[in-house]
Amino acid sequence: MRGFYVSRFIRRSMRVIALGSFIVLFAIIAGIATTPWMAGTVIVEAVGTERVMVEIETGSAGQGEVVTLDVTFTDMTGGNVENVNYDIIASQGNEVVLDVKGAHEDNGIGSHTTTPLPLAASDTMPLNIQVTFNGFGIEEPFTGPIGQVATKQVVPEFGTITMMILGVSIVSIIAITTKSKIFPKI
C-alpha cells in the first residue's frame, strides 16, 4: 500500500513540476517582452581634481527601431555642467548606427537618435554605446578630463512585471500542491 502512495506522489509531483516550469517559462518570456532598458551612470575621472559623470539613458532597442540616446553630464555633486564637448558612437555587431563627432552641449544635456537597429538588442547582440569626453569650453583648447571614455551596453533585463509574474507562479504552485493533497497525511 505504501508503494501506491509513493507512486501517486511521484506522478502528481511531476505534474506540478511541469506546470511550475511552464509558468516560470511564461514569466521569463513575458519579462523579455515587457522589459525596460538600461540606464547607467559612468564616472569619468581626470588625472587632476576635475571629475565629471556621464549618464546614458536609452529607450527600447527592438529590431528595426530607432533608439534615442540621452546623454547627461554632471559634476560629482550632481550639478549641471556647461559647454561640454564629446564624441558618441553606437554600434550593434559590426554595424555603426550612430557616429557623432564634436558634439557640443551648452547645458550638458544631449539627445541623439540612431538609425534603425539591424537586430533586437540581446545578450549576444547588444547595442554598444561609447562616449568620449573632449573637454569643457566653447573654443579650443578645452579643459577637463579630455579623452576619457564612457561605455555602456544595452541588453534586456528582467523587469518588475517579470518578478511579479514569477511571484504569482510560485504562489500558484504552492496553492495547487496544497489543494491537490499530493502529500498523504502521515
| Stretch (H or E) spanning 146 | none
Q: DSSP letter at 77?
A: T
What pLDDT is recorded for position 114?
Answer: 94
pLDDT tens digits along 111-157: 999 999 998 888 788 889 999 989 888 888 888 888 888 888 877 66
Share of the chain above pLDDT 90, in %: 23
What pLDDT is recorded for position 18?
Answer: 57
Dihedral of CA atoms 28, 161, 179, 3 in degrees, nearest 10, equals: 20
pLDDT tens digits along 14-60: 665 655 565 555 555 555 444 444 444 444 444 345 678 888 888 77
| Distance in angstroms (rounded) separating the CA atoms of residues 100 and 89 | 6
Q: Would the pTM count as exceeding 0.75?
A: no
Kindly report the CATH number that applies to the domain delimited by 39-156: 2.60.40.1930
